[in-house]
Amino acid sequence: MPVLCGLPLAELTQALAPLPRFRAVQIFKWIARGVLSFDLMSDLPLSLREELKGRFTVCSSVVAERHIDNDGTVKLGIDLANSARIEAVLLADAGERRTACLSTQAGCPAGCVFCKTGSLGFMRNLNPAEIVEQFLFLREAAGGSIAGGSIANGSIANIVIMGMGEPLLNLAELRRALAVISDPQGMNFSKRRITLSTCGISEGIIDLADKGPNLCLALSLTTACEEKRKRLMPVTTTQPLARVKEALAYFQCKGGGRITLEAVLLGGINTTSEDAAALAEFARGLDTVVNLIPWNPVQGLVFEGKALKEPSAREVESFTRQLEELGLKVTRRYRKGRGVMGACGQLGQLSPT
Protein backbone atom coordinates (compact mmCIF):
# COMPACT_ATOMS: atom_id res chain seq x y z
CA MET A 1 0.00 0.00 0.00
CA PRO A 2 1.20 3.57 -0.64
CA VAL A 3 3.08 5.12 2.33
CA LEU A 4 2.03 8.63 3.43
CA CYS A 5 4.87 9.58 5.76
CA GLY A 6 7.28 10.95 3.12
CA LEU A 7 4.79 12.86 0.97
CA PRO A 8 5.04 16.65 0.76
CA LEU A 9 1.66 18.25 1.51
CA ALA A 10 0.74 18.85 -2.16
CA GLU A 11 1.44 15.20 -3.03
CA LEU A 12 -0.39 14.00 0.07
CA THR A 13 -3.43 16.04 -0.98
CA GLN A 14 -3.34 14.42 -4.42
CA ALA A 15 -2.88 10.94 -3.00
CA LEU A 16 -5.90 11.37 -0.70
CA ALA A 17 -8.23 12.67 -3.44
CA PRO A 18 -11.19 12.98 -3.52
CA LEU A 19 -10.87 13.91 0.17
CA PRO A 20 -10.85 17.69 0.70
CA ARG A 21 -7.50 19.43 1.28
CA PHE A 22 -8.23 20.13 4.96
CA ARG A 23 -8.17 16.36 5.60
CA ALA A 24 -4.70 16.17 4.02
CA VAL A 25 -3.56 19.05 6.27
CA GLN A 26 -4.91 17.22 9.34
CA ILE A 27 -3.06 14.02 8.41
CA PHE A 28 0.13 15.94 7.51
CA LYS A 29 0.11 17.54 10.96
CA TRP A 30 -0.49 14.21 12.71
CA ILE A 31 2.51 12.72 10.93
CA ALA A 32 4.56 15.79 11.87
CA ARG A 33 3.62 15.11 15.51
CA GLY A 34 4.96 11.58 15.14
CA VAL A 35 1.56 9.88 15.04
CA LEU A 36 2.11 6.97 12.70
CA SER A 37 -1.21 5.14 13.07
CA PHE A 38 -4.59 6.21 11.64
CA ASP A 39 -6.20 4.88 14.84
CA LEU A 40 -4.63 7.73 16.83
CA MET A 41 -5.69 10.54 14.46
CA SER A 42 -8.53 11.55 16.75
CA ASP A 43 -9.96 14.43 14.72
CA LEU A 44 -10.72 12.14 11.76
CA PRO A 45 -14.14 10.39 11.74
CA LEU A 46 -13.88 6.70 12.67
CA SER A 47 -15.32 5.65 9.30
CA LEU A 48 -12.63 7.66 7.49
CA ARG A 49 -9.86 6.11 9.61
CA GLU A 50 -11.12 2.66 8.63
CA GLU A 51 -11.29 3.65 4.96
CA LEU A 52 -7.74 5.06 5.05
CA LYS A 53 -6.40 1.89 6.69
CA GLY A 54 -7.62 -0.03 3.67
CA ARG A 55 -5.93 2.31 1.19
CA PHE A 56 -2.68 3.51 2.80
CA THR A 57 -0.07 2.86 5.41
CA VAL A 58 1.39 5.79 7.39
CA CYS A 59 4.87 4.44 8.05
CA SER A 60 6.96 1.78 6.30
CA SER A 61 9.89 0.95 8.61
CA VAL A 62 10.34 -0.17 12.23
CA VAL A 63 12.97 0.40 14.90
CA ALA A 64 14.48 -3.04 15.49
CA GLU A 65 17.40 -2.12 17.78
CA ARG A 66 18.31 0.77 20.03
CA HIS A 67 21.80 1.22 21.48
CA ILE A 68 22.75 3.98 23.94
CA ASP A 69 26.38 4.96 24.49
CA ASN A 70 27.76 6.33 27.77
CA ASP A 71 28.32 9.67 26.05
CA GLY A 72 24.58 9.96 25.28
CA THR A 73 24.73 8.88 21.63
CA VAL A 74 21.73 6.81 20.54
CA LYS A 75 22.03 4.49 17.54
CA LEU A 76 18.91 2.99 16.01
CA GLY A 77 18.87 -0.09 13.79
CA ILE A 78 15.87 0.36 11.49
CA ASP A 79 14.34 -2.42 9.40
CA LEU A 80 13.03 -1.33 6.02
CA ALA A 81 10.04 -2.93 4.35
CA ASN A 82 12.24 -5.15 2.16
CA SER A 83 14.20 -6.40 5.20
CA ALA A 84 17.35 -4.33 4.62
CA ARG A 85 18.60 -2.71 7.80
CA ILE A 86 19.90 0.84 8.06
CA GLU A 87 21.17 2.88 10.98
CA ALA A 88 20.42 6.41 12.20
CA VAL A 89 22.19 8.17 15.04
CA LEU A 90 21.32 10.82 17.60
CA LEU A 91 24.47 12.61 18.70
CA ALA A 92 24.66 14.50 21.97
CA ASP A 93 26.23 17.93 21.39
CA ALA A 94 27.21 20.48 23.98
CA GLY A 95 24.51 21.19 26.58
CA GLU A 96 21.07 19.86 25.73
CA ARG A 97 21.45 20.10 21.96
CA ARG A 98 21.30 17.00 19.81
CA THR A 99 22.13 16.28 16.18
CA ALA A 100 20.20 13.75 14.10
CA CYS A 101 22.38 11.88 11.60
CA LEU A 102 20.31 10.40 8.75
CA SER A 103 21.07 7.75 6.14
CA THR A 104 20.05 8.06 2.48
CA GLN A 105 20.99 4.63 1.11
CA ALA A 106 21.17 1.04 2.36
CA GLY A 107 24.89 0.39 1.98
CA CYS A 108 26.89 2.70 -0.27
CA PRO A 109 28.33 2.41 -3.78
CA ALA A 110 31.26 4.79 -3.11
CA GLY A 111 33.45 2.19 -1.38
CA CYS A 112 35.72 4.50 0.65
CA VAL A 113 38.25 2.11 2.20
CA PHE A 114 38.06 3.61 5.70
CA CYS A 115 34.27 3.30 6.04
CA LYS A 116 32.28 0.33 7.28
CA THR A 117 29.25 1.28 5.17
CA GLY A 118 31.43 1.40 2.06
CA SER A 119 32.58 -2.16 2.74
CA LEU A 120 28.97 -3.41 2.58
CA GLY A 121 28.43 -2.51 -1.06
CA PHE A 122 25.25 -0.90 -2.32
CA MET A 123 21.80 -2.31 -1.69
CA ARG A 124 19.37 0.42 -2.66
CA ASN A 125 18.32 4.05 -2.38
CA LEU A 126 16.00 5.00 0.45
CA ASN A 127 12.65 6.56 -0.43
CA PRO A 128 11.43 9.82 1.17
CA ALA A 129 9.30 7.99 3.76
CA GLU A 130 12.30 5.97 4.94
CA ILE A 131 14.33 9.18 5.39
CA VAL A 132 11.55 11.11 7.16
CA GLU A 133 10.85 8.14 9.44
CA GLN A 134 14.47 8.14 10.65
CA PHE A 135 14.01 11.75 11.74
CA LEU A 136 10.75 10.95 13.55
CA PHE A 137 12.27 7.95 15.34
CA LEU A 138 15.34 9.96 16.44
CA ARG A 139 13.16 12.86 17.51
CA GLU A 140 11.15 10.54 19.71
CA ALA A 141 14.41 9.25 21.21
CA ALA A 142 15.37 12.89 21.87
CA GLY A 143 12.09 13.57 23.67
CA GLY A 144 10.42 15.55 20.85
CA SER A 145 6.78 15.26 19.76
CA ILE A 146 4.85 12.34 21.12
CA ALA A 147 1.51 11.06 19.94
CA GLY A 148 -1.17 13.67 20.56
CA GLY A 149 1.23 16.42 21.64
CA SER A 150 2.07 19.58 19.76
CA ILE A 151 4.59 19.53 16.92
CA ALA A 152 8.03 20.04 18.48
CA ASN A 153 11.49 18.94 17.47
CA GLY A 154 12.66 18.66 21.09
CA SER A 155 16.35 19.02 21.61
CA ILE A 156 17.29 18.29 17.98
CA ALA A 157 19.11 21.43 16.89
CA ASN A 158 20.79 20.08 13.75
CA ILE A 159 20.39 17.42 11.10
CA VAL A 160 23.39 16.00 9.28
CA ILE A 161 22.97 13.88 6.16
CA MET A 162 26.10 11.90 6.94
CA GLY A 163 24.79 8.43 7.76
CA MET A 164 24.87 5.45 5.42
CA GLY A 165 25.13 6.23 1.71
CA GLU A 166 26.10 9.05 -0.64
CA PRO A 167 23.23 11.56 -0.47
CA LEU A 168 23.90 13.21 -3.84
CA LEU A 169 23.34 9.86 -5.55
CA ASN A 170 19.82 9.92 -4.12
CA LEU A 171 19.14 13.63 -4.32
CA ALA A 172 15.64 13.58 -5.82
CA GLU A 173 14.26 11.41 -3.00
CA LEU A 174 16.22 13.29 -0.34
CA ARG A 175 14.85 16.58 -1.66
CA ARG A 176 11.28 15.37 -1.19
CA ALA A 177 12.06 14.11 2.31
CA LEU A 178 13.60 17.45 3.30
CA ALA A 179 10.58 19.29 1.88
CA VAL A 180 8.50 17.36 4.42
CA ILE A 181 10.90 17.86 7.32
CA SER A 182 11.20 21.61 6.70
CA ASP A 183 7.56 22.41 5.84
CA PRO A 184 6.34 25.25 8.12
CA GLN A 185 2.91 23.57 8.34
CA GLY A 186 4.55 20.43 9.69
CA MET A 187 7.90 19.67 11.30
CA ASN A 188 9.22 23.11 10.34
CA PHE A 189 12.90 22.21 10.73
CA SER A 190 15.09 25.07 9.49
CA LYS A 191 17.06 24.19 6.32
CA ARG A 192 19.90 26.35 7.62
CA ARG A 193 20.42 23.75 10.33
CA ILE A 194 20.78 20.87 7.89
CA THR A 195 24.22 19.83 6.58
CA LEU A 196 24.74 17.42 3.69
CA SER A 197 28.06 15.65 3.34
CA THR A 198 29.20 14.29 -0.03
CA CYS A 199 32.24 12.33 -1.16
CA GLY A 200 32.34 14.69 -4.16
CA ILE A 201 29.66 14.09 -6.80
CA SER A 202 30.11 17.19 -9.02
CA GLU A 203 26.80 16.86 -10.90
CA GLY A 204 24.96 16.55 -7.58
CA ILE A 205 26.65 19.64 -6.13
CA ILE A 206 25.66 21.64 -9.24
CA ASP A 207 22.11 20.28 -9.09
CA LEU A 208 21.93 21.27 -5.41
CA ALA A 209 23.24 24.76 -6.24
CA ASP A 210 20.67 25.18 -9.04
CA LYS A 211 17.58 23.66 -7.49
CA GLY A 212 18.18 23.63 -3.73
CA PRO A 213 17.35 23.09 -1.03
CA ASN A 214 19.70 25.70 0.38
CA LEU A 215 21.60 23.56 2.87
CA CYS A 216 25.05 23.67 4.44
CA LEU A 217 27.48 21.57 2.42
CA ALA A 218 30.41 19.44 3.53
CA LEU A 219 32.89 17.64 1.29
CA SER A 220 34.42 14.45 2.61
CA LEU A 221 37.86 15.19 1.17
CA THR A 222 40.22 13.07 3.34
CA THR A 223 43.18 14.04 1.18
CA ALA A 224 43.64 16.38 -1.75
CA CYS A 225 46.59 14.35 -3.05
CA GLU A 226 44.73 13.05 -6.09
CA GLU A 227 46.52 9.73 -6.61
CA LYS A 228 46.30 8.82 -2.93
CA ARG A 229 42.65 9.84 -2.85
CA LYS A 230 41.89 7.54 -5.78
CA ARG A 231 43.17 4.65 -3.66
CA LEU A 232 41.33 5.74 -0.51
CA MET A 233 38.15 6.96 -2.20
CA PRO A 234 37.65 5.24 -5.56
CA VAL A 235 34.99 7.80 -6.54
CA THR A 236 37.94 10.13 -7.33
CA THR A 237 38.60 8.13 -10.50
CA THR A 238 35.39 9.38 -12.08
CA GLN A 239 35.16 12.61 -10.08
CA PRO A 240 38.53 14.36 -10.40
CA LEU A 241 39.22 16.93 -7.70
CA ALA A 242 39.49 19.81 -10.17
CA ARG A 243 35.91 19.16 -11.28
CA VAL A 244 34.72 18.81 -7.68
CA LYS A 245 36.36 22.14 -6.83
CA GLU A 246 34.69 23.83 -9.81
CA ALA A 247 31.34 22.51 -8.59
CA LEU A 248 32.02 23.84 -5.06
CA ALA A 249 32.94 27.27 -6.49
CA TYR A 250 29.68 27.22 -8.48
CA PHE A 251 27.76 26.29 -5.30
CA GLN A 252 29.23 29.31 -3.51
CA CYS A 253 28.65 31.57 -6.52
CA LYS A 254 24.97 30.66 -6.39
CA GLY A 255 24.72 31.76 -2.74
CA GLY A 256 25.81 28.61 -0.90
CA GLY A 257 27.59 29.34 2.38
CA ARG A 258 30.92 28.25 3.82
CA ILE A 259 31.86 24.69 2.89
CA THR A 260 33.27 22.25 5.42
CA LEU A 261 36.18 20.18 4.12
CA GLU A 262 36.18 17.00 6.17
CA ALA A 263 39.35 14.98 6.54
CA VAL A 264 39.19 11.59 8.20
CA LEU A 265 42.71 11.22 9.60
CA LEU A 266 44.21 7.77 9.04
CA GLY A 267 47.30 7.01 11.06
CA GLY A 268 50.45 7.22 8.91
CA ILE A 269 48.52 7.73 5.66
CA ASN A 270 47.12 11.20 5.07
CA THR A 271 48.76 13.43 7.69
CA THR A 272 51.96 14.31 5.79
CA SER A 273 53.18 17.77 4.80
CA GLU A 274 52.16 16.95 1.18
CA ASP A 275 48.62 16.26 2.36
CA ALA A 276 48.57 19.57 4.24
CA ALA A 277 49.90 21.52 1.25
CA ALA A 278 47.48 19.83 -1.18
CA LEU A 279 44.58 20.56 1.14
CA ALA A 280 45.54 24.23 1.36
CA GLU A 281 45.83 24.39 -2.43
CA PHE A 282 42.42 22.75 -2.85
CA ALA A 283 40.84 25.26 -0.43
CA ARG A 284 42.39 28.29 -2.13
CA GLY A 285 39.68 30.57 -3.54
CA LEU A 286 36.86 28.85 -1.64
CA ASP A 287 35.32 29.89 1.66
CA THR A 288 36.01 26.82 3.80
CA VAL A 289 36.64 25.44 7.24
CA VAL A 290 38.54 22.17 7.65
CA ASN A 291 37.05 19.59 10.01
CA LEU A 292 39.53 16.94 11.14
CA ILE A 293 38.04 13.58 12.16
CA PRO A 294 40.49 11.10 13.69
CA TRP A 295 39.50 7.74 12.17
CA ASN A 296 37.08 5.71 14.27
CA PRO A 297 38.25 2.09 14.33
CA VAL A 298 36.43 -0.59 12.36
CA GLN A 299 37.82 -4.09 12.46
CA GLY A 300 38.87 -5.63 9.17
CA LEU A 301 39.36 -2.45 7.14
CA VAL A 302 42.71 -2.34 5.37
CA PHE A 303 44.60 -0.04 3.03
CA GLU A 304 47.05 -1.65 0.63
CA GLY A 305 47.33 -4.79 2.72
CA LYS A 306 47.79 -3.07 6.09
CA ALA A 307 45.17 -2.66 8.80
CA LEU A 308 44.04 0.94 9.16
CA LYS A 309 44.91 2.58 12.45
CA GLU A 310 43.96 5.68 14.36
CA PRO A 311 46.31 8.65 14.13
CA SER A 312 48.34 9.34 17.26
CA ALA A 313 47.55 12.47 19.27
CA ARG A 314 50.90 13.87 18.14
CA GLU A 315 50.10 13.23 14.49
CA VAL A 316 46.76 15.03 14.83
CA GLU A 317 48.39 17.98 16.63
CA SER A 318 51.13 18.28 14.05
CA PHE A 319 48.75 18.08 11.08
CA THR A 320 46.45 20.66 12.67
CA ARG A 321 49.39 23.01 13.18
CA GLN A 322 50.56 22.59 9.59
CA LEU A 323 47.11 23.43 8.23
CA GLU A 324 46.82 26.47 10.49
CA GLU A 325 50.24 27.70 9.42
CA LEU A 326 49.00 27.43 5.84
CA GLY A 327 46.18 29.81 6.77
CA LEU A 328 43.30 27.33 7.05
CA LYS A 329 40.56 27.46 9.67
CA VAL A 330 40.56 24.09 11.44
CA THR A 331 38.11 22.38 13.79
CA ARG A 332 38.10 18.87 15.23
CA ARG A 333 35.18 16.53 15.61
CA TYR A 334 34.54 14.89 18.94
CA ARG A 335 34.60 11.10 19.00
CA LYS A 336 30.96 10.59 19.86
CA GLY A 337 29.19 7.25 19.65
CA ARG A 338 32.18 4.92 19.46
CA GLY A 339 30.82 2.76 22.27
CA VAL A 340 27.84 1.75 20.07
CA MET A 341 29.76 1.82 16.77
CA GLY A 342 27.75 4.91 15.90
CA ALA A 343 30.60 7.30 15.13
CA CYS A 344 31.57 8.60 11.69
CA GLY A 345 32.55 5.73 9.36
CA GLN A 346 31.29 2.99 11.69
CA LEU A 347 27.70 2.55 10.51
CA GLY A 348 26.71 -0.83 9.17
CA GLN A 349 27.64 -3.13 12.03
CA LEU A 350 24.05 -4.20 12.64
CA SER A 351 22.54 -6.81 10.39
CA PRO A 352 18.91 -7.86 10.01
CA THR A 353 17.79 -10.66 12.29
Residues in contact with ligand SF4 by CB under 6 A are 108, 110-112, 115, 117-118, 164-166, 199, 220
Closest approach of ligand SF4 to the CB of residue 136, in Å? 22
Nearer to ligand SF4, 165 or 337 (CB): 165
Nearer to ligand SF4, 44 or 113 (CB): 113
Cβ 164 to ligand SF4 shortest distance, Å: 6
Positive or negative CA dihedral for 342, 346, 128, 193?
A: positive
CB-side neighbour CA atoms (13 Å) of 207:
14
**Quick one: 12 or 194, whose CB is closer to ligand SF4?**
194
Q: Quick one: 110 or 292, whose CB is closer to ligand SF4?
A: 110
CA 161/CA 201 separation, integer angstroms: 15
Q: Which residue, among 213, 146, 207, 206, has the nearest Cα to 182 in the 3D structure?
A: 213
87 is a catalytic site residue: yes
Q: Which residue lies nearer to ligand SF4 by CB, 264 or 278?
A: 264
Please report, in angstroms and rounded to a whole number, the separation of the first and last CA atoms in the chain.
24
Return the half-sphere exposure (C-beta side, CA atoms, 13 A cut-off) of residue 110: 30
Query: Count of CB atoms within 10 A of residue 91's CB?
Result: 27
Of these residues, 5, 59, 87, 166, which one is catalytic?
87
Q: How far is 84 from 72, CA to CA, in rounded Å? A: 26
Which amino acid is residue 314, in one-letter code?
A: R
Q: Cα angle vertex 264, ends 267, 306, to 5°?
A: 40
Query: Least separation, in Å, of the C-beta of 229 and ligand SF4?
Result: 12
In the complex, what is the shortest distance from the CB of residue 109 to ligand SF4, in angstroms, rounded to a whole number?
7
Distance of alpha carbon 162 from its chain centroid, rounded?
Answer: 3
| Residue 17 neighbours by CB under 8 Å, 6+ apart | none
Shortest Cβ 288–ligand SF4 spacing (Å) = 19
For ligand SF4, give the closer residue by CB, 110 or 350. Answer: 110
- Give the CB-nearest residue to ligand SF4: 118
CA 10 from chain centre, in angstroms, equals 25
Contact 130, 71 (CB under 8 A): no
Q: Provide, rounded to whole angstroms, the least separation between the CB of residue 166 and ligand SF4.
A: 4
Give the active site residues. 87, 344
